[in-house]
Amino acid sequence: MLRPHRIAPDTVLIPRLIQVENGYTAIHTMVITGKEPVLVDTGAAIHRDAWREDVFSVVDPRDVRWIFISHDDADHIGNLDTALDLCPNATLVTAPRPFSPPAPRTRVIADGESFHAADRVLTAVRPPLYDAPTTLGLYDDGSGVYWAADCFGAITPHPTSNAHDLPLDDYLESLHLHATTLSPWHAWLDPTPYNHYLDHLTSMELTALTTAHGPTVTGSRIPRVFDTIRKP
């Protein structure tokens, strides 16, 4: 429905939209096309053929050096085995997976830790809302893009991957609805860690917020997004 497109320098969104009763939901992934290309999450297995075609129209699989997995839900690791098979030079970067043995070529990372991908530093930054306890987002200091995994998702009334295509109030309402469904691991009942992670994001130099489950946010809408999901 939507084709891969650049959302920032060296940053390409691989969009995947699914029609639902009240609009469109997303299972996006991302490619950082720097000197050492990075795949960010791998989508759902049901979309494997289209995912493979889209991702490798952007980057040669032999050039991929890193595969970052935010968490091990099926809609984020659905094509991980395919990616590891097709990208022989890639190292998997992810949080420890408590119920699974480490995949081959794995580098374990924790919140706040970084790794170098040649011309940029990529840092694991936990999003303020998530539905799996091991979730990590990814911040790219080369572009200012933050991948938020499940956080900042929103259902859209028509096919788009750009939040600026939507009326602001409608978009923020959908964003808030999605945020309140990220349970049981979200921190709405205990605002202390929640606000800590949100405050950390607001202090960062961000050009774009990207998410697996909604449109990309840029510019003046970024602080409005933070205000919308902040616990009163």
3-state secondary structure of 116: strand
Q: What is the CA radius of gyration of the chain?
A: 16
| Model pLDDT, residue 16 | 97
| Model pLDDT, residue 102 | 64
Whether the Cβ atoms of residue 9 and residue 143 lie closer than 8 Å to each other: yes
The CA-based angle 130-221-129, given to 5 degrees, is 10
Domain boundaries, the chain: 5-229
Q: What is the pLDDT of residues 83-111, one digit of tens each?
A: 999 999 999 999 987 666 667 789 999 99
Q: What is the rounded CA–CA span in Å between residue 144 and residue 37?
A: 16
5-229: CATH architecture:
4-Layer Sandwich (3.60)
The CA-based angle 6-116-45, given to 5 degrees, is 55
| Model pLDDT, residue 209 | 98
| Model pLDDT, residue 184 | 43
Please say whether the dihedral angle defined by the alpha carbons of residues 201, 202, 206 and 210, taken in this order, is positive or negative.
positive
pLDDT along the chain (232 residues), means of 10: 93 97 96 97 97 98 98 95 96 83 83 96 94 92 97 96 97 92 53 76 96 97 93 56
Tokens in use for 10?
A: 């060296």
The whole model's pTM is what?
0.93
| Model pLDDT, residue 133 | 84
Whether the Cβ atoms of residue 109 and residue 69 lie closer than 8 Å to each other: no
| Model pLDDT, residue 186 | 47
